[in-house]
């Protein structure tokens, strides 16, 4: 029996205080009860141990999602309020110019961020995989930005891109008088500086993912193709890149969800400006919920963000967990 190891002391000790008036058979019954209880406990113990975490997740993730979901159809303004208003907040949300700017920026930022990170990541991975001397030095250099806070990244790029003291000034001092690079101050171009800083931070990580994928490819296949006369270009286009499909998928999922969540970087780099030019859904949600006293609209924007992420993540997780099963 397992109880012996679970409770090395006498299993009856916890009833002994009250056991005095009990006669022999009742004591026996109690003992049997205790045994089944402990056996039960043994079978339920794993679930019991897991339950605090699971309850926390249910409450703080799914309960909160439900709560925010309800707020999005309520008349909450400065504080949460429970008056039901239907889809009014969503209608207001989609008629707001700020929100359409945020969505347009997310589209620009998301697409460029994903595409450029993938191209740079794949390119660097392929090049690094060509028996490069000094790979051990280069790889950590490509990857270290991932360890930094977006606030640090934002600070560094904010001043480096500042026309007054940064890159533009450097070029002028180096004698290129006509050089102009004031994207960070320009309403039209500021969003691209966010892309630049975000790509700087994440592309090395994408490189590492592709590199792992490349290293997993069986060389015999490549050699066989070479013997058949395939050129390097064909080798990569026809064999290597198709075989990297899982890495492409993972990179896409990770980058897409990072893009939708992007908040800190914008705050540190442009603070949503100039004007509202670099507003993203995450910054929109924050300002409407907490500074503009439009909590209902803020909640509805959060729900839209969750839906965007869910539409990418759920199919992915589903297929991943499925594959495991078989």
Partner 1 sequence: MSAASKDTALRTGVIARALIYSILLVFAVFYLLPLFVMLVNSLKTLDEIRQGNMLAFPEVFTFEPWIQAWGEAQIGVEPTGLKPYFINSLVMVVPAVIISTLLGAINGYVLTKWQFRGHRVVFGLMLFSCFIPFQIVLIPMARILGILDLAGTTSGLVLVHVVYGLGFTTLFFRNYYDAFPTELIRAATIDGAGFFRIFRRILLPSSGPIIVVTVIWQFTNVWNDFLFGASFADFDSQPMTVALNNLVSSSTGVKEYNVHFAGAILAALPTLIVYVVSGRYFVRGLMAGAVKG
Scan residues 68-97 and list those touching partner 1 (CB under 8 A): 68, 71, 80
Q: Are the CB atoms for 163 and 182 separated by under 8 Å?
A: yes
Which residues in the 248-307 window bind partner 1 by CB under 8 A?
Answer: 250-251, 253-254, 257, 260-261, 263-264, 267-268, 271, 281-282, 285-286, 289-290, 295, 298-299, 301-303, 305-306
Residue number, 29 or 64, with CB nearest to partner 1: 64
How many angstroms separate the CA atoms of 203 and 229, rounded?
33
Which residues in the 162-201 window bind partner 1 by CB under 8 A?
Answer: 165-167, 169-170, 173-174, 200
How many angstroms separate the CA atoms of 297 and 287, rounded?
10
- 92 half-sphere exposure, CB direction, 13 A CA radius: 18
Residue number, 23 or 147, with CB nearest to partner 1: 147
Residue number, 182 or 250, with CB nearest to partner 1: 250
Residue position matching structure tokens 């990770």: 254
Nearest to 262 by CA among 276, 281, 277: 281
Which residues in the 206-225 window bind partner 1 by CB under 8 A?
Answer: 208-209, 211-212, 214-215, 217, 219, 222-223
Least separation, in Å, of the C-beta of 270 and partner 1? 10
For 116, the token pair is: 């450029």
Residue position matching structure tokens 């080798």: 235
317-to-57, 183, 257, 313, 324 alpha-carbon distances in Å: 17, 38, 13, 6, 11
Residue number, 24 or 53, with CB nearest to partner 1: 53
Q: Are the CB atoms for 154 and 134 separated by under 8 Å?
A: no
**Which residue from 34, 96, 152, 241 is in contact with partner 1, where contact means CB under 8 A?**
152
Residue number, 109 or 142, with CB nearest to partner 1: 142
Least separation, in Å, of the C-beta of 62 and partner 1? 7
Beta bridge partners of 84: 74
Residue position matching structure tokens 């897409």: 256
Which residues in the 18-37 window bind partner 1 by CB under 8 A?
Answer: none
How many angstroms separate the CA atoms of 148 and 157, rounded?
13
Least separation, in Å, of the C-beta of 225 and partner 1? 11
Asked if residue 148 binds partner 1 (CB under 8 A), the reply is yes
Asked if residue 245 binds partner 1 (CB under 8 A), the reply is no
Binding flags for partner 1, 307-326, as an x/- string (CB under 8 A)? --xx--xx-xx--xx-xxx-
How many angstroms separate the CA atoms of 229 and 226, rounded?
5
Exposed e or buried b per residue across 47-73, where buried means at least 16 C-beta atoms within 10 angstroms of its C-beta:
eeeeeeeeeeeeeeeeeeeeebeebbb
Please calculate the CA angle 128-133-139 and round it to the nearest 5 degrees.
45
Asked if residue 121 binds partner 1 (CB under 8 A), the reply is no
With CB under 8 A as the contact rule, which of the stretches 87-95, 105-113, 127-135, 185-193 interacts with partner 1?
127-135
Residue position matching structure tokens 């790029």: 157
Residue number, 1 or 23, with CB nearest to partner 1: 1
Least separation, in Å, of the C-beta of 92 and partner 1? 17
Asked if residue 102 binds partner 1 (CB under 8 A), the reply is no
């Amino acid at each position: 029996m397992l109880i012996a190891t679970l409770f090395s002391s006498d299993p009856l000790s916890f009833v002994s205080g009250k056991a005095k008036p009990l006669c022999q058979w009742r004591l026996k019954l109690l003992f049997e009860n205790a045994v089944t209880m402990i056996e039960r406990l043994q079978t339920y113990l794993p679930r019991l141990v897991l339950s605090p975490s699971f309850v926390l997740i249910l409450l703080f993730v799914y309960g909160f999602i439900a709560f925010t979901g309800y707020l999005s159809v309520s008349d909450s303004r400065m504080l949460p309020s429970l008056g039901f208003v239907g889809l009014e907040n969503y209608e207001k949300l989609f008629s707001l110019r700020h929100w359409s700017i945020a969505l347009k920026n997310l589209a620009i930022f998301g697409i460029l961020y994903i595409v450029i990170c993938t191209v740079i990541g794949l390119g660097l991975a392929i090049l690094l995989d060509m028996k490069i001397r000094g790979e051990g030095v280069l790889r950590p250099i490509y990857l270290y930005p991932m360890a930094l806070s977006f606030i640090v990244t934002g600070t560094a790029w904010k001043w480096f891109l500042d026309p007054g003291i940064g890159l533009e000034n450097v070029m002028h001092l180096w004698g290129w008088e006509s050089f102009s690079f004031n994207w960070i101050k320009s309403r039209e171009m500021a969003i691209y500086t966010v892309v630049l800083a975000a790509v700087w931070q994440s592309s090395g990580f994408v490189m590492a993912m592709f590199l792992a994928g490349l290293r997993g490819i069986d060389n015999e296949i490549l050699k066989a193709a070479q013997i058949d006369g395939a050129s390097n270009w064909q080798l990569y286009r026809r064999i290597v890149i198709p075989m990297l499909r899982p890495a492409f998928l993972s990179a896409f999922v990770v980058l897409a969800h990072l893009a939708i969540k992007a908040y800190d970087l914008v705050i540190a780099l442009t603070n949503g400006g100039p004007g509202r030019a670099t507003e993203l859904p995450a910054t929109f949600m924050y300002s409407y919920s907490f500074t503009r006293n439009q909590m209902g609209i803020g909640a509805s924007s959060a729900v839209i963000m969750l839906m965007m992420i869910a539409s990418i993540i759920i199919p992915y997780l589903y297929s991943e967990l499925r594959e495991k099963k078989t």
